[in-house]
Amino acid sequence: MIKQIIKASKLSLIPKEVIISKIYYIRGKKVMFDRDLAELYGVETKALNRAVKRNIDRFPDDFMFQLNEKEAEILRYQFGTLEMGRYSKYLSYVFTEQGVAMLSSVLNSKRAIQVNIQIIRIFISLREMLLTHKELREKIEKLENRIDAKLGRHDKQIKIILETIKLLLKEDAKPKEMIGFKVK
């Protein structure tokens, strides 16, 4: 599956890294901004938003939501200083993975469809990577628990070994008298 995604991304319009850099985590969801999607689709932001508003029934709150003023302000600080014309005076809309998928039914250009397919593939690959990391973390935790259980039995022995090592280190700190014949 991942090989297919990599192969598809090589043939794609937009580099995978560009799309990934436009995915943000807001309100506990991975989302993309309306302006970034419009840029990727090759349309104006207001045209994208107009198409969405004409089909608003396709975009429930878990597919798309508008940022509140506090979130918008935080993101402006995060992105740095305002560039002339880069940020509108209106609060941005953000689209979840499902919202991005729904955009393909609203936007009918060939480019929009191809870019949409790329974006969905990237969301899928990100989800698979997160799942893999979760499984790996769980395996490590199980291993740590097993090690802790085994160490519980050997705690006394380990404690004795550590105390012996500490004593040896303390003895090394003292200057030792030479052993053997001393020539005067």
Tell me the fold of 2-131: Mlu1-box Binding Protein; DNA-binding Domain (3.10.260)
Q: Which of 31-40, 79-88, 149-158 has the highest mean pLDDT?
A: 31-40
pLDDT digits (tens, 9 = 90+) for 22-74: 888 888 888 999 999 998 888 888 889 999 999 999 999 999 999 888 888 87
Tell me the percentage of the chain whose pLDDT exceeds 90: 8
Token pair 């107009």: residue: 50
Overall pTM surpassing 0.85 (yes/no): no
Alpha helices in the chain (DSSP H): 2-10, 16-20, 34-41, 45-54, 69-79, 97-106, 110-173
